[in-house]
């Protein structure tokens, strides 16, 4: 868990490599659905561009279908789901019925000023998918991809007005999840400031405390 720009995707990939389970990114699954023009993607496209949350039932159906996949039987890492209490309760019911449970909920924390800087500065190559940041990882030529030489773009949901709306939605709808998982004894809050290595070190410490 964590607000947009806290580094969930970056850390999830590293964590997947460390513990060897399937990484399920709700955001990636939605963006792929939009790209392929599936019914879910078509329904979600406008809401994503406005920074709104996708209806719970649509996202839950997508995640639950993926969790039924045999490759998730040995374990899974959820990234960007659940995002509100309704999704969390539905996930708990789904896992209980399938004889599974969550081991740990990691919540990344970062000041809003840094979140804004991280998100609004991101740039992406629409051709090869290479990622950059205007301050932290700039291309050699402004606006041009180092890998393939094509023009870089800013994701629609990384514009400042959309980022502020995404943060507002997170504060009002997702933050209550912290208390929900705190009460269940699953929550571990992680300081997401610093380098990716420093943040991952804190995450590794949190996982060492998970009962086996």
Q: From the candidates 83, 90, 118, 123, which is the catalytic residue? A: 83
pTM, entire model: 0.76
Nearest to 3 by CA among 185, 201, 178, 194: 178
Catalytic residue list contains 202: no
Catalytic residue list contains 168: no
Catalytic residue list contains 122: yes
Per-residue pLDDT tens over the stretch 176-188: 899 999 999 999 9
Q: Which residue has 């030489």 as its token pair? A: 149
Q: From the candidates 155, 159, 164, 182, which is the catalytic residue? A: 155
Q: From the candidates 90, 118, 122, 202, which is the catalytic residue? A: 122
Per-residue pLDDT tens over the stretch 71-105: 999 899 999 899 889 999 999 999 999 999 999 99
Query: How far out from the chain centre does Cα 177 lie?
Result: 15
């Amino acid at each position: 868990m964590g607000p947009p720009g806290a580094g969930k995707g970056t850390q999830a990939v590293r964590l997947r490599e460390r513990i060897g389970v399937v990484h399920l990114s709700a955001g990636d699954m939605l963006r792929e659905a939009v790209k392929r023009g599936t019914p879910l993607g078509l329904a979600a496209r406008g809401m994503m561009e406005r920074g709104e949350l996708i209806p719970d039932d649509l996202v839950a159906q997508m995640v639950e279908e993926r969790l039924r996949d045999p490759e998730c039987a040995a374990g899974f890492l959820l990234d960007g789901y659940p995002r509100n209490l309704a999704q969390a309760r539905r996930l708990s019911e789904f896992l209980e019925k399938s004889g599974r449970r969550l081991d740990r909920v990691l919540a990344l924390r970062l000041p809003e000023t840094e979140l804004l800087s991280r998100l609004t500065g991101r740039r992406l190559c629409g051709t090869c998918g290479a990622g950059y940041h205007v301050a932290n990882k700039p291309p050699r030529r402004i606006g041009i991809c180092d890998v393939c030489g094509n023009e870089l773009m800013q994701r629609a949901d990384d514009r400042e007005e959309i980022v502020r709306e995404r943060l507002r939605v997170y504060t009002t709808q997702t933050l209550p999840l912290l208390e929900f998982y705190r009460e269940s004894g699953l929550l571990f809050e992680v300081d997401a400031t610093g380098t990716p290595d420093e943040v991952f070190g804190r995450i590794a410490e949190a996982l060492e405390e998970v009962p086996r």
